[in-house]
Amino acid sequence: MKLRIFPLLALVLVLALLPVGTALADPYDPNAPFALMPEDLYAQAAVVMDADSGRILFDKNATERVYPASTTKIMTLLLACEYGHFDDMITIPEEASDISSDSSVVPVTPGETMRFIDLLYGLEMHSGNDAANAVAVIVSGSVANFVAMMNQRAQQLGMTGTHYANAHGLHDAMHYTTAQDLAILTAEALKNDTFRQIVSSLSYEMAPTEERGALWLSCSYDVMNPNSDLYYEGCIGVKSGFTSNAGQSFVGAAERDGLTLISVAMNCAPTNDDEAKRTKFVDTVRLLDFGFSQYDAYDFTTLFDLATQDTPLVTMVQEAHQDDPYGGQLTLSAAQVNGNWQNKMVYGDEAALNQAVQEFRQSLSVTIQQDVMAPVTSGQTLGSISYSDPEGNAMTGVLVASRSVEAMTFWYKLSHNTTFRVCVALLAAIIVIFIVLRIRVTVVRNRRRKQLMERKRRELERYQREQRMRGKW
């Protein structure tokens, strides 16, 4: 029994010797983002979502009620962007000052005039509660009317776990949301070009007014700071939030290869006071890394090869070399792709890839050159391709020979040419006829010569006989 106590005592001793404030080792492995577990996050509630499809890729208490704090301003900014009138000169209303003394501010002053777009940048980049109230009054006439608009828009978007009580996010027991609802809202907001431009800006200069000089705004998010160890390539905002009741929160978004993901990390528990503002960005990186790890990127050439794998694009080369190993059959490949093609991001298993390949094949138009004559060189253009799909991917390109094909030799070509064969046969017949005629002529000539010689011999004999007879007589 005493022996069993020793390991426990040893563990207590080790923990006692740790410096105060030292945390236990983080079990998360950044080299295996696909293995993310809920306990790897500091957030009380979190989600990562595909902005285009609405697909939830990961969640932790995603529908649990949380306080939004300044992430409320995502809705405030969206409604302002949908309102428009960005270049209008507006006057800051008295309601801008109706905020708590510890509020974050732009600052703006009641009665101050400025362009509406400047107010929106102040709302986002300085998280100005004064700007939120000003936007509410400018857009709808009063804060109450604007809050009603916020709740109506939330209902339209299917944000069933959300209720707004103000435009800025200061704590109110009836002002709440969920991580999933914030992802839905952000996906909708990012469709608005002005919203997207504002939340992704690293800096902005507000023009001077009668109350102040030019005001320089800058983004303070670690995930958007190239000098931070938490910088996330492709990050496009969106909004942080903090109150003592809501804790540290961040709604982020990132885009790679045409795929936009939205991450939400709410009420992130700090490891210590120094790390309090980092944990929401640590979670953001982990969530986005997990999301992108669920997709495979396929470039045009890879999809083309997969789409033509079972039915390759081929053409027959005429008069190919007699020893060509493929009998003149030539496979074509795609090259010189031009257009706005982005890598196809495919989520899921082999079935999803097969579906993507099928959709790719249906959007592909192919034209192959006919009557191709040898010789053909590798890379020679032998056709064209064009592609266009509903997502806006479009391109044109060419089909090229995947190998060289030599022409058949001259003598082989002659030997297998029908006309040549007929000509050779006629020539052979003529030669045979000539030889036969030549032999016949020769035979006839020899016969005549023999007949002539025989006649001369007989005449000579007759002459000799006549001479002998004359001599006798």
Q: Residue 5: how many CA atoms within 13 Å on its side-chain side? A: 2
8 A C-beta contact, residue 123 and residue 80: yes
Residue with tokens 């969920």: 178
Q: 127 catalytic, yes or no?
A: yes
DSSP, collapsed to helix, strand or coil, labels residue 170 as coil
Going by the DSSP 8-state scheme, the letter that residue 95 receives in this structure is G
Query: Which member of 70, 104, 240, 263 is catalytic?
Result: 70
Cβ-Cβ contacts under 8 Å for 399 (sequence gap 6 or more): 313, 332, 333, 334, 335, 366, 368, 381, 382, 383, 384, 385
Examine the residue annotation and report whether 73 is marked as an active-site residue of this protein. yes
Rg, the chain, Cα only: 45
Please, which contacts does 375-382 make with residues 24 or more away whose CB atoms are closer than 8 Å? 375/404, 375/405, 375/406, 375/407, 376/317, 376/330, 376/401, 376/404, 376/405, 377/401, 377/404, 378/402, 378/403, 378/404, 379/335, 382/315, 382/330, 382/332
- The bridge status of strand 344-347 relative to strand 295-298 is antiparallel
- The tokens describing 26, both together, are 């983080």
Instruction: Indicate which residue of 60, 73, 280, 344 is catalytic.
Output: 73
Of these residues, 104, 127, 140, 263, which one is catalytic? Answer: 127
Note if 263 is an active site residue: no
CA gap 226, 219 in Å, rounded: 11
The per-residue DSSP string of 262-316 comes to EEEEEEEPPSSGGGTTTHHHHHHHHHHHHHHHTEEEE-HHHHHHHHTSSS--EEE
State yes or no: cis peptide before 110, omega within 30 of 0.
no
Cα 160 to Cα 63, 157, 181, distances in angstroms: 9, 9, 7
DSSP codes of every residue in 228-241 = STT--TTEEEEEEE
Measure the CA–CA gap between 296 and 287, rounded to whole angstroms.
Answer: 17
* Whole-angstrom distance, CA of residue 48 vs CA of residue 36: 12
Is 239 marked as a binding-site residue?
Answer: yes
CB 392, CB 344: distance < 8 Å: no
CB 279 within 8 A of CB 267: no
Catalytic residues: 70, 73, 127
As annotated, the binding site includes 239
As annotated, the binding site for substrate includes 239
